[in-house]
Structures are given as structure tokens and as C-alpha cells.
Chain A
Amino acid sequence: MLKPSWSRGDAGGKISSDAPLPPSAAAPLGAVTESFLAYVRGKRTLMVSLLGVTAFLAVVAVTQGAYDISPGHLLRVLTGSAVGPADIVVWKIRLPRIMSAIVVGWGLSLSGLGIQSLLKNPLGSPSTLGISQGAAFGAAAAIVIFGQQMVSVTVFAFAGAMGATAVIMVLASLRRLSPQAIILAGVALSSLFASATVLIQYLASDTQLAVIVFWTFGDVARASWSEIGMLTGAVGVASIFLISRRWDLNAMAAGEVTAKGLGVNVNRMRLHGMLAAALVAALATAFHGVIAFVGLIAPHIARKLVGGDHGLLIPFSAIIGALLLLTADTFGRALIGSGALPVGIITSFMGAPMFLFLLVRGYR
């Protein structure tokens, strides 16, 4: 009796042995399913509310700052009916910064979630595994060798991130290497890349040194619209990839053997997923420097809110990541007044205690 009412063709041209029964589209769903769907709707309402909070905060962030812009004035600037200093402040300074905060927060959080789920490691994230530091090293090398060109910095940052990811994946695929051991490997990689970056700084000229140091702060202020566009593209692709594989991720969370029994190609999924996570982390780091801990914390907050179903976990992590980074950056701007604290400093202050908390609590 447990036959699906539809079937799909198999690879290899075989006809499925599942006998097609007439579709039961008109039949009402059962009471248990209805209560489950109501539960999911509740979570989605919460998600829309969080999106609303993020949008509200974004508007507040655009209007606040050294140059005061009222919401009405902002609307006129956005519709193009106002010219003058406000136009420049909004389009050249504040909007790129706010968009960057949202996209970087979104991307780093997804990257962290992907790493945590694919490596089954609750302490995994681009910054705890050394992936961000690898990207930072690559970018520093590119600045010294090629100067501050976007293409070479991006390519080298990506190569650095991929190098770190490859080491982590090889270690993770070795049998019986525990999540703690992987994190220790991440610590080793991070300090290796940090030392290598220091070596490059030592060899760099004064101007290059200033660029590298400024660059490693981790800041969302310096992105151009084209960089935001590139990052948004990468984050979009990663988001679509992960959400389309949400059931594979759920299966892998139940254990590797279980996932294989459910038809998941575990090794391929892990490879593709880690590539997507590393790509996003690499681009975010190439454009914005190392912004630590957002990728670690946001997925944990999301898990507290919605549990382990990746269908909900992916959008929630992304939104919470965006909200966290936007909040941190707005806080940093409000704190200093006319200037702004690089957001990487704030996230590290926020994130380090959270990381310790996760360690102490046994991070389940």
C-alpha cells in the first residue's frame, strides 16, 4: 500500500518498478500533515518578520549618519527626483555599505551553515577553519605582486580559500578524525596563513603594507557596486544550490550511511557544497577582508529557532547572518559618529564569547 502515486524514470533507461497509481490530487491532506504544514507556516511567518526587521534596519541605517537624511528625502533620492549631496551620500556611501553588509552577512552565514552541515561539525565556519585566513593570505600576496587590482586580488583570495578548504576536506575524509581535531587543524591553518601574511607584510613596501593592513581589518565600507554585484551573484548561486539540495543535507545530518541508503551521492554533494561555501567565503574576504564569526553564529541562532530542517534552516541562517552584520555595522557607525569602526572588529568581539559558549555548552 505504500506506493507513490507517481514515479519517475530511472537512470540507464530502465522503467521504474513503482506501479503508477491514479493521482490523488483531489484528496484532502490528513490531520497530521495539516498540523505539520501549520507548523511550517508558523516558521515562515517568523522568517517574513525577520526579513521585515532587516529591511527596517536597512532604511534606518541609510537615514542615519553624519549627513542627516529624512525618510521622505531618502524616498526622493531613491526615485531620482532629488539631486545634491544627499544623492552622493546615499548612492555612493551608505547604500553600497548597507547592501554589502546584507550580502556578506547572508553569504558568510550560508557558507558557515554549509560547512557545518557537510562536515558535520558544529564549530565549522569560514573563519574557524582557516578558509577566510587563506583568502586573506592570497589577497595580501596579490597586493604585493600585482598591486591593488580587483581581479588578481579576487583570484588569489579564491586560490587561498580553496587551498585551505582542500586541506580541511582531506583531513575530514580521513576516518575517525573528530570535529574537534578538524577545528584544531583549522587553528593550525589559520596561524600558518597569518604567519605567511605577516611575512608578506614584512617584505612589502610602506604603501603596500598600509593597503594590506587596512584590507585585513574586515570592513563592508569599501565595496563598489560591481563588487557587490559579483558577490550577490555568487551568493545567489550558492543559495539556490543549497536550497535545491536541502533534502540531501537533511539526509547527511542523519549520518553518512543513512544518506547513502537514501540515494545521496555523499562525496559529490560534499565536494560541490564545500566548493560553493569556499567560493562565497573567498569572494566576501577578497572584497571585505576577514569578517569573523558571523558564519559560525548565525546558523546556530537559526537552528535554535527552526530546528534542523535545511528547508527552513538555509533561509533563516541567511537572513539572520544579514541582520547580524547589518546590526554590527550600524552599531559601529553609531558608536564613532562621523567615521566608522570596521565591522570585522565588532563581529570578533561578538563572536569570540559565543564560540567559547558553544565549546563550553558541548555544542549540540
Chain B
Amino acid sequence: MILSVNDIRFSYNSHAVLDDVSFCVGKGSVLAILGVNGAGKSTLLKCLNRILHPQAGSVLLGEENLFKLSQDAIARRMGYVPQQHNPPRLTVYEAVLLGRRPHMGLTVGKADFAIVERTLERMGLSTLALRPVSDLSGGEMQKVMIARALAQSPTILLLDEPTSNLDLKNQMDVMGLIRTVVSDGELMAVIAIHDLNLAVRFADQFLFLKDHCVHALVSRDDLNAGIIEQGYGLKFMIAEVAGRRVVVPL
């Protein structure tokens, strides 16, 4: 299954934010959206699941045009974790069960409970199930939000800065979990992210946004310092440390 995003154009009151943005992602792969603040990373994510309505372009999942579906139907295919969220006054279990909303009829079914149970276990949240979300640490809270998106049983996971406000350990934990669920499952992830090193470590493809357009779309093997330099307008070096590629601004 392939997500293909074609010629997305979006503007706020005649102020262009995205101009003809196109890319493809396949199942099992993670695409990182990169670019300076205001490049349109968050806007692009919101255009994919119709939280914002782009003026032109289409999003196809396989053969299916997602823009012709209802918001509910889109939510059954795309799980979305926004950058900012209010910690709800819910228990962890309730917060993850909320992800089943697009699939639910009037009542919660056994299948919904089974999915929540499995998702909690997978995200290492089982022991916290009855704790209020607002009592959790930032890292735990972010895992709950991702668990909620996974409980939507999506094909595509859209994550907006999933590691901002997290310490180093939690950044690694969260990105590691995302990588694992994407590699294991029938999933793909599109992640807007600031941290180049996390992106290089966990993503397969990199979409650089610059001046409202796609500046570059490269796979992990083709990524080089030149592309990053042009994307960010800074000098960079890609070095190998302990067998890992790291990006260092110069």
C-alpha cells in the first residue's frame, strides 16, 4: 500500500504556505518532514488528514482518494498526534480507548477493548492504565497520545514533533517505539521533526520543505550534507560516530 501525495497547495488568506508539494510513502517506512520553523511542516500534516483543506492537490492511499472520504473514514485510516495537546482529564485507558471513536457505533465493542489492551501493552503503558493522564510525565504522556493514534488502527501515522519537550532518553524511547510499530505492522509514518539526528537515525526518507516547496526528497542512502545545508541555510557535516551517522552544524 502506498500513500501518494500529489501537488498539495495551501494558503492562508492568499499567503502561500505550501506550493505543489508531492511525495510518496510505502508501508513499513518512516518519512521525516524537515525544514526551518514556518516552512509548513505542521500545515502539510494537517492537509493530509483534512484538518485543513488544501486549495489543490490530492492524497491517495492505494487507489482510494482520501479527500473524497468523510472525516470519520479518514480517521479510520490516519492516526494523528498534534504538536500541542491538552492533557485530558481521562485515565490512560480511557485516553487510548478514545482512539477507537472513529470505529465505534453507539457502544464500545469487545474488539475495541482488545485493541486497546494490545496497544497499551505494546507501548509499555499497561501498568499505568488507570492513572489520570494529567499525572504522567511528558514522555509517558506522549506515549499515551501515540497509543491513542495507534488505537485508531490506522494505515498511516501522522506525528507532529513527537519528541519536542522530551528529554534525551524519552526522545530515543518514543522514536524507537514508532520505528518498531512501523516496521512490525501494516503501517507507515509521516513525522514532522526538528531534530536532524533523530530523523537520520529513525527515518527512511527525508522531505525538505523550503520556501513553501519541496526542496529535496531523498532516501537515507542519498542524504548528504549539501542537501541539508541548502535546506537550512547553514553549514553541516555528516560524520560517522560509533557506527551511527550524525549531523553536526558547523
Known interface pairs A255-B82, A263-B74. Does A2 touch B153 (Cβ–Cβ under 8 Å)?
yes
Residues of B within 8 A of A250 (CB): 88, 90, 94, 98, 101
Q: Quick check: B71 and A2 within 8 Å, CB to CB? A: no
Residues of B within 8 A of A27 (CB): 110, 114
- Complex: how many Å from CA A258 to CA B98? 11
Q: Quick check: A257 and B113 within 8 Å, CB to CB? A: no
- Complex: how many Å from CA A247 to CA B64? 27
Interface string of B136-174 (1 = CB under 8 A from A): 000000000000011111010010000000000000000
- Complex: how many Å from CA A115 to CA B61? 38
Q: Quick check: A17 and B113 within 8 Å, CB to CB? A: no
Q: Quick check: B70 and A11 within 8 Å, CB to CB? A: yes
Tally of contact residues, A, Cβ under 8 A: 46
- Complex: how many Å from CA A258 to CA B104? 17
Q: Quick check: B132 and A35 within 8 Å, CB to CB? A: no
Interface string of A21-38 (1 = CB under 8 A from B): 001110101101101100
Residues of B within 8 A of A4 (CB): 103, 111-112, 115, 153
B178 CB to nearest A CB, Å: 13
Known interface pairs A14-B68, A32-B129. Does A247 touch B104 (Cβ–Cβ under 8 Å)?
yes
B88 CB to nearest A CB, Å: 4
A134 CB to nearest B CB, Å: 29
Interface string of B66-81 (1 = CB under 8 A from A): 0011111111111111
A302 CB to nearest B CB, Å: 11
Q: Quick check: A24 and B114 within 8 Å, CB to CB? A: yes
Give the residue of A23, A35, A248 whose beta carbon is less than 8 angstroms from that of B130: A35
Q: Quick check: B111 and A23 within 8 Å, CB to CB? A: yes
Q: Is residue B89 contacting chain A, with contact meaning CB distance below 8 A?
A: yes
Q: Quick check: A2 and B115 within 8 Å, CB to CB? A: yes
- Complex: how many Å from CA A24 to CA B77? 22
Residues of A within 8 A of B78 (CB): 261
Residues of B within 8 A of A349 (CB): none
- Complex: how many Å from CA A241 to CA B40? 38
- Of residues 70 through 103 on chain A, the ones whose CB sits less than 8 Å from some CB of chain B are none
Known interface pairs A1-B185, A2-B119, A247-B104. Does A255 touch B73 (Cβ–Cβ under 8 Å)?
no
Q: Quick check: B153 and A18 within 8 Å, CB to CB? A: yes
- Complex: how many Å from CA A339 to CA B175? 69
Q: Is residue A157 contacting chain B, with contact meaning CB distance below 8 A?
A: no
Residues of B within 8 A of A254 (CB): 85-86, 88, 90, 95, 98
Q: Quick check: A307 and B132 within 8 Å, CB to CB? A: yes
Give the residue of A2, A3, A258 whose beta carbon is less than 8 angstroms from that of B85: A258
B105 CB to nearest A CB, Å: 8
Q: Quick check: A262 and B89 within 8 Å, CB to CB? A: no
Residues of B within 8 A of A263 (CB): 70-76, 101-102
- Of residues 1 through 22 on chain A, the ones whose CB sits less than 8 Å from some CB of chain B are 1-8, 10-12, 14, 16-18
Q: Quick check: B72 and A11 within 8 Å, CB to CB? A: yes
What is the total of A-B residue contacts with beta carbons within 8 Å?
A: 168
Q: Quick check: A33 and B116 within 8 Å, CB to CB? A: yes
Q: Quick check: B69 and A261 within 8 Å, CB to CB? A: no
- Of residues 43 through 67 on chain B, the ones whose CB sits less than 8 Å from some CB of chain A are 46, 49, 51, 61-62, 64
Q: Quick check: B103 and A261 within 8 Å, CB to CB? A: no
- Complex: how many Å from CA A251 to CA B88? 9
A72 CB to nearest B CB, Å: 42
Q: Is residue B93 contacting chain A, with contact meaning CB distance below 8 A?
A: yes
Q: Quick check: B51 and A308 within 8 Å, CB to CB? A: no
B102 CB to nearest A CB, Å: 4
Residues of A within 8 A of B69 (CB): 10-12, 14
A303 CB to nearest B CB, Å: 7
Q: Quick check: B113 and A33 within 8 Å, CB to CB? A: yes
- Complex: how many Å from CA A100 to CA B184? 59
Q: Is residue B118 contacting chain A, with contact meaning CB distance below 8 A?
A: yes
- Complex: how many Å from CA A254 to CA B86? 5
- Complex: how many Å from CA A10 to CA B77? 11
Q: Is residue B99 contacting chain A, with contact meaning CB distance below 8 A?
A: yes
- Complex: how many Å from CA A127 to CA B32? 49
Q: Which residue of A lies closest to B68 (CB)?
A: A12
Residues of B within 8 A of A222 (CB): none
Q: Quick check: A261 and B82 within 8 Å, CB to CB? A: yes
- Complex: how many Å from CA A126 to CA B75? 33
Residues of A within 8 A of B49 (CB): 260-261
Add 20 more A-B contacts to A2-B185, A36-B129, A262-B101 (CB < 8 A).
Answer: A1-B186, A2-B118, A10-B70, A12-B69, A17-B62, A17-B64, A27-B114, A30-B117, A32-B120, A32-B126, A39-B130, A255-B82, A257-B51, A258-B82, A260-B51, A262-B102, A263-B73, A307-B91, A308-B89, A309-B94
Binding site for B on A (CB under 8 A): 1-8, 10-12, 14, 16-18, 23-25, 27, 29-30, 32-33, 35-36, 39, 244, 247-248, 250-251, 253-255, 257-258, 260-265, 303, 307-309
Binding site for A on B (CB under 8 A): 46, 49, 51, 61-62, 64, 68-82, 84-86, 88-91, 93-95, 98-99, 101-106, 109-121, 126, 129-130, 132, 149-153, 155, 158, 184-187
Q: List 25 contacting pairs A-B, 8 Å CB cutoff, sorted by A.
A: A1-B185, A2-B150, A2-B185, A4-B103, A4-B115, A5-B114, A6-B109, A10-B70, A11-B72, A14-B64, A17-B62, A18-B153, A33-B93, A33-B117, A35-B129, A247-B104, A250-B90, A250-B94, A251-B101, A254-B85, A254-B90, A260-B49, A261-B82, A261-B158, A262-B102
